[in-house]
Amino acid sequence: MADSQAVASLRTGSVLLCLCALFLFSALDATAKHLSAFLAVPLLVWARYLVHLLIMVLTILPGQGRGIILTRRPWLMGLRGVTLAGVTLLGQLALYTLPLAETTALIFVAPLLVALLAGPLLGEQVRSRTWLATVAGFAGVLLIARPGGNLAATGVACALGAALCYAAYQILTRKLVATEPPMRLLFYTALLGTLVMSPVVPVFWDGRLPSFGQGLLVVSLGVYGGLGHLLLIRAFRETPASLLSPLLYIQLVWATLLGWLVFDHLPDLPAIGGMLIIGGSGLSLAIGRPR
């Protein structure tokens, strides 16, 4: 009895950690969207990864030592880091022109792409329900980015590009988790994101420094991202992924709420329908995934 209560308590804690992580990711997107009116998006992406890297160097690296850096699969680790940087850059470019909730929903077609690509790339069986969920998910995309709607085509293209990069990132993560510990994976995302985005700084920075308040918000991007990933790693370490994966779609709720509170935007009815279809399609795959 005591063991079952302990397991239930542990899983409740993991659910709370997961929900907090998803809120932090939505807060990161909302903050980046606000800052993009004052600062170039590539600079925001660079700052997000630089702060994340500094946090890990100061807090995680001393305890991990060389173990957090040494890897037997440097090329895959590097490619994984580049794909996540692509997710962040394209996602924030999409947020520059699109509302928060719609952008989040479009990027959430990534799990559907993973389900399809897992067949040829990972050798997993692609079932008929996967095809049906994917077709339904892209029908949801058409409802959000429907012809005659008020969403910018370039923003939609960036969001779908971010979804494709995110799918590649997830597939590479599946390939690496067997040999690479979570903290090493997290460290390399911060390191590669910083290295990839550093060359753009001289191109987009005109020498002006952000105000004190803007500077705090810029630093918060790295805090939101780094802390969110740490909480998510902790949650999935303590609880089976099959129980937590469906919760990831709560981020759509957080994004809609923050889009309303911060930017006074609510999706119209067709967009809400598209978001529900995308979320439902992804949920059908997450719930039906073997433990």
Residue-level pLDDT at 177:
81
**What is the crossing angle of helices 250-263 and 269-288, to 10°?**
150
pTM of the predicted structure, to 2 decimals: 0.87
Residue-level pLDDT at 90:
96
- Cβ 84 vs Cβ 191: under 8 Å: no
Residue-level pLDDT at 6:
54
SS (HEC) of 192-248: HHHHHHHHHHHHHCCCCCCCHHHHHHHHHHHHHHHHHHHHHHHHHHHCCHHHHHHHH
pLDDT in tens, the chain (291 residues): 545 555 556 677 888 888 999 999 999 999 999 999 999 999 999 999 999 999 989 888 888 878 888 888 899 999 999 999 999 999 999 999 999 999 999 998 888 888 777 666 666 666 777 777 778 877 888 788 776 667 888 999 999 999 999 989 888 888 888 888 888 989 999 999 999 999 999 999 888 888 999 999 999 999 999 898 888 888 877 776 666 777 788 888 899 999 999 999 988 888 888 888 888 877 776 665 554
| Whole-angstrom distance, CA of residue 54 vs CA of residue 268 | 40
| Whole-angstrom distance, CA of residue 38 vs CA of residue 218 | 11
Residue-level pLDDT at 114:
80
- Cβ 107 vs Cβ 96: under 8 Å: no
Residue-level pLDDT at 272:
86
* Alpha-carbon Rg for the chain in angstroms: 19
Residue-level pLDDT at 23:
95
The residue behind tokens 């690509």 is 117
Residue-level pLDDT at 163:
93
